[in-house]
Amino acid sequence: MARHPIYISIDVEADGPIPGPYSMLQFGAAAFDPLVLAHEAAHIPVSTFKANLDLLPGASQSPDTMAWWAKQGDAYANTRVNLQEPSLAVNAFMEWCQSFNRKPIIVGYPVTYDFMWVYWYCVRFGGLPDGVRPPFSFSGMDIKTVAAVKLNCDYPQATKRGMPKAWFKGAPKHTHDALDDAIGQGVLFVNMMRDLRQ
């Protein structure tokens, strides 16, 4: 693989707090190239991925999560169209990650939640032999941690409302569509990284 990685911002929509007992409804990913951070178009992803998934057999739906979805307009209904079997979706995603011929680095906000879902699904449905990890391995980069370092504050204080407005330049509105939100988080990450490197 080439020396420089490719950063892949991910976002997950689900019907409960953890994978297995509950299902991932939709996930989106947007790939950003660190080699073009200095370019004005750095906030435009080089490629994107999105899938709506069938519910897991026998899984439940969290009443609290579903009550939250009921307040989000058409967002939940939009996750229930053009459904794919999890195995087809995650294998297509892993192939997409490998298509860049560069090391994929997962980034998220917070990375712990979204990564947990994507990693679990890739291991469970990806047909990987024992001991073989997904192409992005088992680690991810947390956008909020990067913000805390740049802002020189404690992690709980690194909130979006306390971040410079310039970091959000070019980001789409947060819609609870996994691809929209993955792009928005990726734009935030790219702008932060550009700021750090300057």
pLDDT per position as a tens digit, 130-187: 778 899 998 899 999 999 999 999 999 999 999 999 999 889 999 999 999 999 999 9
pLDDT (0 to 100) of residue 167: 92
pLDDT of residue 185: 95
CATH classification at residue 107: 3.30.420.10
**Full-model pTM:** 0.92
The reported pLDDT for the residue numbered 130 is 79
Residue, of 7 and 36, whose pLDDT is higher: 7
Among 38-42, 46-50, 111-115, 149-153, the minimum mean pLDDT is found in 38-42
Give pLDDT, residue 37: 60
**52 or 35: which leads in pLDDT:** 52
81: left (phi over 0), alpha (psi -120 to 50) or beta: beta
pLDDT of residue 1: 43
Place of tokens 């409302």: 161
pLDDT tens for each residue of 51-78: 999 999 999 999 999 999 999 999 999 9
Return the C-alpha torsion angle 186, 139, 24, 75, nearest 10: -20
Domain containing 182: what range? 2-197
pLDDT for residue 126: 92
Peptide bond into 110 cis (omega under 30): yes
Residue 34, pLDDT score = 75
Domain count, the chain: 1
From residue 64, alpha-carbon distances to 14, 31, 73, 100, 137 in Å are: 12, 32, 16, 39, 32
